[in-house]
Chain A
Amino acid sequence: MDDKSTIICRCEEISCEEVEEVISNGGRTFDDVKRITRCGMGPCQAKICTSLVAEIIHQQTGLSLSEIPLPRMRMPISPIKLETLATNSTSFSAVKSVLDEVELEEGKVR
């Protein structure tokens, strides 16, 4: 890409130059670029910019495209409302409240 100001990630408005900087500092994967620039963290979750970033990594490092890992896709793939995920249960097992973790010992905080 000749114009370094070209936008690679439309959701977060991340330019080619910003992506290149991460790679010149040692980043090798889409997720390295993502964590430093927010490229791919927006509503589309990297559906637009994945291959553009891979192309830049390839150009700068010489890694072949097959050696560049894909970004990690996560639920829910496409944005959904929190209420769709909620089941309205009020019992919790893996999820804690911070105060639950405060233990009392003989009537005193440990």
Chain B
Amino acid sequence: METNYETIVIGGGVVGSGIAYHLSERYKEGVLVLDKKYPMSGTSGSTQAWVWVHNKTPSWYAEFNMYSAELYPYLSKKIGDVEYKRTGGLSPFFNESDREKALKLAESYRKIGIKIKVLSREEVLEKEPYMNPEVAGATYSSIDGNVNPFRLIDMYMRAAKRNGVRYSTYNKVTEIKKQDGKYSVVSDKGAFECKNLILAGGTWSREIGDMLGVKIPVNQLRGQILVSEPLKPFLNFTISGLRQANNGEVLMGYSMEEAGFNRATTLDVIQETANMAVRYVPGLRKAKIVRAFSGIRAMPEDGFPILGKVPGHENLYAAATHSGVTLSPLIGTLITELIMDGETSIPIDRYSLSRFG
């Protein structure tokens, strides 16, 4: 296998593969993606994969997510059917006292041009007839949706490979050295050299950064999800907490636990998730659950993406974030611009690693 590349991406998940694909559109120099296992074996393969904008705060962060959601229809035209659906998103609330908060959220978004409606009980039930009639209201945005994460990453990989990107999988990076202005990346399958190095290790970002003495403060946050048998199509929207996939399965869950890399599913959280699902959509009571799964989210210390050049290290880039599915088309586009043009079409200074001091 060729050992010299212009650019190496460490991590082939939704962020790393998104970057590799977008690079390959413009860039004909060699690109190699290294993955310790096979893409999707970590976070990117254990997600409900909402493409989600509304409820993210502050509003400038919602705006960043919106730009990425706007790229999805175009992306699916370029790489193939990833089952992206812009369903619109509903976040229900059950206490009338939450309406004030919802209205304030809508107001903060209006200033940046994202429309959120705060719906009455009747409006929620008109949009989503299977929602619990005890609902008090919901916030609604038309920009939200979901995607099939497996199709998304598979299509990113296929398109990138067609454009000449190489993948080396089941190949863990063990050491990174800087010598003679180049990076030498030592892996289980040998050493590779490159000019540009992109760290897209997701939940493992800290460990990869350590190899270069760079602190990338990303923690782990576990989420547990239940999957139903395929049901007739009956949910119209991506509801924050559950969504129906193209094949009729309903995915349910919105849990957060600090459990390191432990990917166990636990009865207490499964029961809470079941309680949430029947509270939102009582008709699911009789639906059969075929599986529970859990995934480990990558969560930067302050919750916001870490993107761009690594200060003090020439030709070194970092991309580590929560909401990788939502953000991957935008992150791929911006990192490509940074490498090829030296600047990005929208500012990303606030996402620099330098903010952690």
Q: Which residues of A contact B (CB under 8 A)?
A: 25-29, 31-32, 35-36, 38, 41-43, 45, 74-76, 79-83, 85-90, 92-99, 101-104, 107-110
The 7 A-B pairs at the shortest CB distance, nearest first, are namely A98-B240, A85-B274, A79-B288, A83-B285, A86-B274, A109-B108, A26-B169
Between A31, A38, A41, A75, the greatest number of chain B beta carbons within 10 A of the residue's beta carbon is seen for A75
Measured in the bound complex, the distance between the Cα atoms of B170 and A102 in whole Å is: 39
What 1/0 mask marks residues of chain B from 130 to 148 whose CB sits below 8 Å from any chain A CB?
0000000001000000000
Give A85's nearest chain B residue, CB to CB. Answer: B274
What 1/0 mask marks residues of chain B from 237 to 277 whose CB sits below 8 Å from any chain A CB?
00011000000000001111100000001011111111111
Q: Which residues of B contact A (CB under 8 A)?
A: 38, 40-41, 45, 55, 57-59, 91-93, 98, 101-102, 104-105, 107-108, 139, 150, 154, 157, 167, 169-170, 224, 226, 228-229, 240-241, 253-257, 265, 267-279, 284-293
Give the Cβ gap from A45 to chain B, nearest Cβ, in Å: 6
Query: Using Cβ atoms and an 8 Å threshold, which residues of chain A touch B102?
Result: 99
Query: Using Cβ atoms and an 8 Å threshold, which residues of chain B touch A29?
Result: 38, 41
Give the Cβ gap from B10 to chain A, nearest Cβ, in Å: 16
A85 touches B41 (CB 8 A): no
Known: A87-B275, A89-B275, A109-B105. A97 touches B254 (CB 8 A): yes
A92 touches B275 (CB 8 A): yes
Query: Using Cβ atoms and an 8 Å threshold, which residues of chain A touch B287?
Result: 81-82
Other-chain residue from A25, A31, A35, A87 in contact with B271 (beta carbon distance below 8 A):
A87
A110 touches B254 (CB 8 A): no
Measured in the bound complex, the distance between the Cα atoms of B241 and A74 in whole Å is: 20
Other-chain residue from B139, B170, B257 in contact with A94 (beta carbon distance below 8 A):
B257
B269 touches A94 (CB 8 A): yes
A96 touches B288 (CB 8 A): no
Query: Using Cβ atoms and an 8 Å threshold, which residues of chain A touch B45?
Result: 35
B38 touches A90 (CB 8 A): no
Give the Cβ gap from A37 to chain B, nearest Cβ, in Å: 9
Give the Cβ gap from A57 to chain B, nearest Cβ, in Å: 12
Measured in the bound complex, the distance between the Cα atoms of B273 and A99 in whole Å is: 16
